[in-house]
């Protein structure tokens, strides 16, 4: 093996461009491998560790391009030949970029002249150099998304503290994915518009979650990345709190889905508090940690990405249904169940959603009796002694439904309708008649929301479809499962979501972006109709740290 | 209020018939309420507690019909008028029953003469009298389903112990629902045939679970009820163990779904052991209790009925896919992920499914390294230093895929394919090419199953559909989520399900039923083409306990 090297001074290129170039050159005949990288300290380490170090590189600065050829030839001009190809390829790229219809500039000031209303800086330069442009952007009033990784924790904290003081958001560092009003920032998928806002400290987590939401036929308002360390004890979830606040004030974001690794305990408590204060349904996925309980008021804990997506989409459907329900005065939920298991499940889920304790004694069939809510199992011995099961004989439930005429504190009535052999021949008819009578007795000033589950199939003797139609004629909402019924009931008695005159500025319209680093990101934004200026970034003072600091002091 | 009563001696009718009659009579003019019940001690208590007791009833036996009329009239003949109506209605019923095309008999012996291959007795007489016919049926070699409740725990244990000794199953007492080869026993829905066997100690639980399975487009082989107390410490899950054994030996039952209240701790351990020994995927729902972890080998713990149904249907789909996979020699799973979050989720789920410990150190990107399995995050610093992220540059993963040519212990390869802006323009193409090369290198004697997830949407620049097609051309299975991929991978390396020459006798064909108690159950069976004999049951010795015991001693 022989190594031939060439140092090309003063040409800065992004790492993706150089990687693709290295791969193409490595495929040429007569060479085993070609590597082209900028002469940063980290890259110089990589050359050493992979056995590709060459003495030429000792003089390299981060602004110099290091080319090394591993070849079995003994012709030392092979490095010159490769260098010529590198120049050729870079010229091609430059020509292609000049054709791009978005401006390419060399200074932040020029970028702002061309895009006066720029509000986001997308930074993907090597981590070692990412701090400066981020600070500059923040000081100039722009939100920052840092795709760059290898930014120190101290720098992250400094940037986020600076940003917070100015009401600006720092997404990242090491933030792979953000989508603002459909604008793809860095790694992002094209997701249909919809009611779910995604906030996350995981790039592929956001990508998979949003893709699953799309697969399930729903969509997103925005997806906001935080960077993988935002929920660490050191950073304290500064960006998470700000992102949650942003989407909470965006009325189009009806449901919030949050994904991250398990946060530091103190941070988790704060984040959960913030989620509960939002008053919108929140799905929270703390990756790799089994949630101790699934519902904490409006916060639903998921365990896997597909489960989180399914929950968010289900909650969006529930939200759409809840919005169509009348406002009820009574805030109590009353469940009258003929199926004991269905009553037990409704009780468990409502107890979680409303933070209540289930009734352990089950006296008089009460599965839940707390906070003005009650769930009763009418199959309990108290109700069946001397008469058939309420699935056969609806008398006892009918009486209790009628009794709600005099109980205006009940705003939601939960029921089960069980079909099949053995059951009443027309349970939906019984329920529909009693509910209509109840509504008439309560009058228009005391509306009641009635939600029923329908156990059975189209093949059952009662015919599920015609039973469903009978319920719907009576204005009874049919829930697809006891869980869906419980979630909708809890929503129906919850406080109304606050409404806002307009969304926060960052979410109001697609962003105007200054792209600093990988060219491809600017191209993707441009292709999506997003206004973008590419700032052709080079390390200050040619990457010389001491010189850079000196210049800074003089400025 | 005035009460008028009439005792009609020596006419036994089931409680549902009498309830319906009571309701119809109560709707007539001039009466406030009419109640018709058999003169059992329990019913006599009900008369007393509801203020409907009449001196006439003091002489009533369980074989006498007690009629009471609450009316404001002072015409005492109202009771006679009502009694006449009762007779009229009973005659109508008798005429209808004579028209029924199934035999009605008065003794067990006669029932067996008419239905020599009867194998199930369905018992729904009042609980106080249910023990005798159940014992008789068991002694005569029939399985027993006891719809009856109020059977004592001692009697239940005695019956189940007797049955177990004879290889017979007792479903119940208080068992609301069973479906055997489509035959509805008691309260049951018409569920399409399919691969899921349901076993449960909850009647409405089984009804809702099977209905949800049907709603999701799947179906059942059988649904076997156990009775609500089977998993108590006293009964010890005798019937649960037998039912699980039955469905485990039924090859058509590919997936088992189990539902019950939380069992007694000692019973739960035994049931979970039995489930794990089955070697088929099992979904277990212990109602109202949050599972501590979701997967215990082949046992998947669910929390709600709809979740249990969805899991069972998903596992059935996985099973169908797994059956189409080649048998692999290598039992190791290797996951090569470009997305860190996807790697983490796959690791968590595989660790649960295969009972492994995740790698806490994450050295060299290993998220899991145990039991011959490994999941690697190729986005880890080790792999990205000096080169772009593997979502952009597939080189490092391509190399590792090729390396599996020399690793025959790996039988399953898990991959992610991430689309979207920023990602490689043809990630599926890269994967497909490398997998094809790997397959060629390993040869036909060392097959490998490759399962990929595909993150992204149809609108992404790479076009999800054509990327999916590219993977499928290369024989790569596409899983809809990381969870689906992990479950399928675990199945692919699991031991083959044992196969049986034929199913257990009870499950081989629709049952032949002797129905004892509620007439409606016989009618439903008959309407479903199930061979049934109705045994017109009356308490021995007219319900006189002492006389009954005397007769028994003389027999």
Q: Can you list the positions of beta strands (E) in A32-169?
A: 33-38, 65-71, 104-105, 120-123, 143-146
Please give the average per-residue pLDDT across A207-233, as a whole number.
96
**How far off is chain B from A162, nearest CA to CA, in Å?**
28
**Can you say whether the dihedral through the CA atoms of B476, B480, B486, B491 is positive or negative?**
negative
Residue B247: phi and psi, rounded to 5, are -70, -25
B339: nearest Cα among B376, B370, B313: B376
Q: Is A57 helix (H, G, I), strand (E, B) or coil?
A: helix
Q: Which CATH architecture has domain A328-493?
A: 3-Layer(aba) Sandwich (3.40)
- Angstrom distance (rounded) from CA B133 to CA B123: 8
Of A156-160, A276-280, A296-300, B221-225, which gets the smallest average pLDDT?
Answer: A296-300
Please, are residues A376 and A336 in contact by the beta-carbon 8 Å criterion?
yes
| Residue ranges, CATH 3.40.50.261, chain B | 150-160+168-321, 329-493
Q: What angle do CA A368, A372, A374 make, to 5 degrees?
A: 30
- Angstrom distance (rounded) from CA B487 to CA B475: 19
**pLDDT tens sequence across B29-40:** 878 888 898 888
A148 contact B CB<8A: no
CB pair distance less than 8 Å for B416 and A204: yes
On chain B, the residues whose CB falls within 8 A of the CB of A23 are 393, 395
pLDDT for B15 beyond 80 = no
**How far off is chain A from B292, nearest CA to CA, in Å?**
8
A204 contact B CB<8A: yes
pLDDT at B140 (0 to 100): 96
Please give the average per-residue pLDDT across A484-513, as a whole number.
91
Token output for B285: 């729902």
Please give the average per-residue pLDDT across A215-226, as a whole number.
97
pLDDT for A537 beyond 60 = yes
Please give the average per-residue pLDDT across A254-262, as a whole number.
93
pLDDT for B407 beyond 80 = yes
- Angstrom distance (rounded) from CA A147 to CA A258: 19
On chain B, the residues whose CB falls within 8 A of the CB of A482 are 208, 304-306
Q: Can you list the positions of beta strands (E) in A72-216?
A: 104-105, 120-123, 143-146, 170-171, 177-180, 183-186, 193-200
A357 contact B CB<8A: no
Q: Is B42 helix (H, G, I), strand (E, B) or coil?
A: helix
**Phi-psi domain of B414 (left: phi exceeds 0; alpha: psi -120 through 50; beta: other):** beta
Residue in A with minimal Cα distance to B386 = A43
CB pair distance less than 8 Å for B339 and A19: no
B181 contact A CB<8A: no
**pLDDT tens sequence across B423-455:** 999 999 999 999 999 999 999 989 999 999 999
Nearest to A385 among B42, B358, B483 (CB): B42
CB pair distance less than 8 Å for B420 and A455: no
pLDDT at B550 (0 to 100): 61
- The pLDDT mean for chain B works out to 90
- B 217-256: CB under 8 A from A: none
**How far off is chain A from B373, nearest CA to CA, in Å?**
18
pTM, rounded to two decimals: 0.81
CB pair distance less than 8 Å for B388 and A15: yes
The better pLDDT of the pair B483, A385 is held by B483
Q: What percent of chain B has pLDDT over 70?
A: 94
pLDDT confidence band for B149 (50 / 70 / 90): confident
The better pLDDT of the pair A550, B531 is held by B531
Residue A26 gets which letter from DSSP? H
Please, are residues A244 and A199 in contact by the beta-carbon 8 Å criterion?
yes
pLDDT at A418 (0 to 100): 97
- Angstrom distance (rounded) from CA A485 to CA A478: 8
**How far off is chain B from A42, nearest CA to CA, in Å?**
7
Indicate the CATH number for domain B2-99.
3.30.1360
For B387-428, the three-class secondary structure string (H helix, E strand, C coil) is CCCCCCCCHHHHHHHHHHHHCCCEEEEEEEEECCECCCCCHH
pLDDT at A32 (0 to 100): 85
The better pLDDT of the pair A447, B499 is held by A447
Pairing verdict, β A33-38 and A183-186: unpaired
CB pair distance less than 8 Å for A418 and B524: no
Mutation for testing the A interface, residue in B18, B341, B430, B529 having most A CBs under 10 Å: B341
pLDDT for B549 beyond 70 = no
Nearest to B188 among A358, A421, A453 (CB): A421
Q: What percent of chain A has pLDDT over 90?
A: 64
- Angstrom distance (rounded) from CA B434 to CA B423: 18
Residue in B with minimal Cα distance to A192 = B459
For domain B150-160+168-321, say whether CATH 3.30.360.10 is its number. no
**pLDDT tens sequence across A184-195:** 999 999 999 999
For B246-260, the three-class secondary structure string (H helix, E strand, C coil) is HHHCCCCCCEEEEEE
**pLDDT tens sequence across A289-301:** 666 666 777 898 8
Mutation for testing the B interface, residue in A20, A210, A227, A341 having most B CBs under 10 Å: A341
Token output for A358: 């289930």
pLDDT at B150 (0 to 100): 86
On chain B, the residues whose CB falls within 8 A of the CB of A191 are 457, 459
CB pair distance less than 8 Å for A305 and B345: yes
Mutation for testing the A interface, residue in B46, B188, B208 having most A CBs under 10 Å: B208
Q: DSSP string spanning B52-73?
A: ---GGGGG--TTSEEEEEEES-
pLDDT confidence band for B113 (50 / 70 / 90): very high
Nearest to B187 among A184, A393, A420 (CB): A420
Residue B542 gets which letter from DSSP? G
Nearest to B422 among A186, A215, A338 (CB): A186
Please, are residues A358 and A349 in contact by the beta-carbon 8 Å criterion?
no
Please, are residues B419 and B467 in contact by the beta-carbon 8 Å criterion?
yes
- Angstrom distance (rounded) from CA A311 to CA A300: 8
Of A33-47, A91-105, A211-225, A267-281, which has the strongest mean pLDDT? A211-225
pLDDT confidence band for B544 (50 / 70 / 90): low
- B 505-534: CB under 8 A from A: 520-521, 524
CB pair distance less than 8 Å for B186 and A421: yes
pLDDT for A542 beyond 60 = no
pLDDT for B128 beyond 70 = yes
A61 contact B CB<8A: no
The better pLDDT of the pair B327, A453 is held by A453
- Angle between helices B131-139 and B153-165 in degrees, nearest 10: 10
B422 contact A CB<8A: yes
pLDDT at A549 (0 to 100): 64
Please give the average per-residue pLDDT across B45-50, as a whole number.
84
Q: What percent of chain A has pLDDT over 70?
A: 94
Q: List CB contacts of B272: < 8 A, sequence separation 6 or more.
A: B284, B296, B299
CB pair distance less than 8 Å for A421 and B42: no
Mutation for testing the A interface, residue in B220, B311, B381, B420 having most A CBs under 10 Å: B420
On chain B, the residues whose CB falls within 8 A of the CB of A207 are 339, 418, 420, 455-456
pLDDT for A22 beyond 80 = yes
- A 480-499: CB under 8 A from B: 480-484
Pairing verdict, β B513-516 and A177-180: unpaired
Long-range contacts of B106-111 (CB under 8 A, 24+ apart): B106/B535, B106/B536, B106/B538, B107/B535, B108/B133, B108/B136, B108/B137, B108/B140, B108/B514, B108/B535, B111/B514, B111/B533, B111/B535
pLDDT at B532 (0 to 100): 97
**Phi-psi domain of B422 (left: phi exceeds 0; alpha: psi -120 through 50; beta: other):** left
CB pair distance less than 8 Å for B293 and A288: no
- Angstrom distance (rounded) from CA B242 to CA B163: 10
pLDDT at B79 (0 to 100): 86
Using CB atoms within 10 Å of the CB of residue B521, give its burial: 0 to 12 exposed, 13 to 18 middle, 19+ buried.
buried
CB pair distance less than 8 Å for B421 and A187: yes
Nearest to A386 among B42, B261, B307 (CB): B42
pLDDT for B139 beyond 70 = yes
Q: List CB contacts of A494: < 8 A, sequence separation 6 or more.
A: A279, A298
- Angstrom distance (rounded) from CA B8 to CA B93: 17
pLDDT confidence band for A234 (50 / 70 / 90): very high
Nearest to A204 among B37, B387, B455 (CB): B455
CB pair distance less than 8 Å for A307 and B205: no
CB pair distance less than 8 Å for B395 and A23: yes
A287 contact B CB<8A: yes
Instruction: Say what the ipTM of the complex is.
Output: 0.81
pLDDT at A94 (0 to 100): 76
B389: nearest Cα among B412, B361, B418: B418
A476: nearest Cα among A443, A431, A430: A431
Please, are residues A36 and A65 in contact by the beta-carbon 8 Å criterion?
yes
pLDDT at A268 (0 to 100): 92
Please give the average per-residue pLDDT across B383-394, as a whole number.
82
Token output for B100: 């029924």
- Angstrom distance (rounded) from CA B313 to CA B291: 20
| Residue ranges, CATH 3.40.50.261, chain A | 127-321, 328-493
Q: List CB contacts of A363: < 8 A, sequence separation 6 or more.
A: none
pLDDT for B522 beyond 90 = yes
Please give the average per-residue pLDDT across B343-366, as a whole number.
86
CATH of B329-493, one of 3.40.50.261, 3.40.50.300, 3.30.565.10, 3.80.10.10: 3.40.50.261
Token output for A333: 């939920």
- B 423-482: CB under 8 A from A: 423, 453, 455-457, 459-461, 480-482
Residue A370: phi and psi, rounded to 5, are -165, 150
Radius of gyration (C-alpha) of chain A in whole angstroms: 31
- Angstrom distance (rounded) from CA A296 to CA A275: 10
| Residue ranges, CATH 3.30.1360, chain B | 2-99
Token output for B16: 């549902």
On chain A, the residues whose CB falls within 8 A of the CB of B204 are 338-342, 379, 391, 416, 418, 455
On chain A, the residues whose CB falls within 8 A of the CB of B187 are 391, 418, 420-423
pLDDT for B87 beyond 60 = yes
- Angstrom distance (rounded) from CA A310 to CA B138: 48
On chain A, the residues whose CB falls within 8 A of the CB of B342 are 204, 208, 305
Nearest to B340 among A20, A204, A457 (CB): A204
CATH class of A127-321: alpha beta
pLDDT for A495 beyond 90 = no
B15 contact A CB<8A: yes
pLDDT confidence band for A25 (50 / 70 / 90): confident
Number of A/B CB contacts below 8 angstroms equals 258
């Amino acid at each position: 093996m022989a190594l031939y090297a060439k140092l090309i001074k003063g040409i800065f290129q992004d790492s993706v461009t150089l990687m693709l170039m290295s791969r193409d050159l490595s495929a040429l005949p007569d060479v085993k491998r070609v590597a082209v990288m900028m002469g940063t300290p980290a890259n110089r380490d990589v050359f050493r560790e992979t056995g590709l170090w060459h003495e030429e590189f000792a003089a390299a600065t981060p602004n110099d391009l290091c080319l090394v050829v591993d070849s079995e030839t003994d012709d030392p001009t092979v490095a010159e030949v490769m260098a010529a190809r590198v120049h050729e390829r870079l010229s091609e790229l430059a020509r292609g970029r000049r054709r791009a219809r978005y401006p390419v500039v060399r200074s932040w000031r020029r970028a702002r002249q061309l895009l006066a209303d720029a509000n986001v800086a997308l930074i993907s330069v090597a981590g070692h150099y990412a701090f400066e442009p981020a600070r500059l952007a923040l000081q100039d009033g722009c939100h920052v998304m840092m795709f760059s990784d290898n930014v120190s924790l101290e720098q992250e904290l400094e940037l986020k503290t600076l940003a917070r003081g100015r009401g600006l958001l720092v997404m990242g560092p090491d933030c792979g994915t953000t989508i603002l009003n459909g604008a793809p920032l860095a790694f992002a998928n094209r997701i249909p518009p919809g009611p779910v806002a995604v906030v996350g400290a995981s790039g592929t987590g956001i990508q998979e979650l949003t893709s699953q939401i799309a697969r399930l036929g729903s969509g997103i308002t925005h997806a906001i990345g935080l960077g993988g360390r935002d929920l660490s004890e050191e950073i304290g979830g500064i960006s998470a709190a700000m992102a949650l606040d942003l989407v909470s004030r965006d009325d189009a974001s009806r449901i919030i889905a949050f994904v991250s690794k398990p946060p530091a305990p103190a941070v988790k408590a704060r984040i959960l508090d913030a989620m509960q204060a939002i008053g919108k349904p929140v799905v929270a996925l703390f990756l790799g940690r089994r949630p101790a309980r699934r519902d904490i008021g409006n916060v639903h804990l998921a365990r896997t990405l597909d489960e989180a997506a399914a929950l968010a989409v289900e909650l969006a459907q529930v939200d759409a249904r809840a919005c169509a329900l009348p406002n009820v005065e009574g805030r109590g939920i009353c469940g009258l169940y003929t199926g004991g298991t269905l009553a037990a499940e409704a009780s468990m889920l409502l107890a979680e959603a409303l933070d209540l304790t289930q009734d352990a004694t089950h006296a008089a069939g009460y599965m839940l009796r707390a906070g003005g809510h009650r769930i009763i199992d009418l199959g309990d011995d108290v109700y069946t002694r001397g008469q058939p099961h309420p699935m056969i004989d609806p008398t006892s439930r009918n009486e209790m439904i009628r009794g709600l005429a005099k109980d205006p504190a009940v705003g939601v009535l939960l029921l089960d309708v069980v079909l099949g052999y053995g059951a009443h021949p027309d349970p939906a008819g019984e329920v529909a008649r009693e509910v209509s009578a109840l509504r008439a007795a309560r009058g228009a000033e005391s509306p009641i929301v009635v939600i029923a589950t329908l156990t059975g199939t189209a093949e059952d003797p009662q015919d599920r479809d015609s039973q469903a139609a009978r319920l719907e004629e009576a204005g009874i909402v049919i829930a697809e499962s006891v869980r869906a019924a419980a979630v909708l009931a809890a929503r129906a008695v919850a406080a109304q979501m606050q409404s806002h005159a307009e969304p926060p500025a960052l979410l109001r319209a697609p962003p105007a972006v200054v792209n600093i680093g990988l060219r491809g990101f600017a191209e993707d934004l441009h292709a999506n109709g997003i206004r973008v200026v590419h700032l052709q970034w080079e390390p200050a003072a040619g990457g010389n740290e001491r010189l850079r600091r000196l210049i800074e002091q003089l400025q």
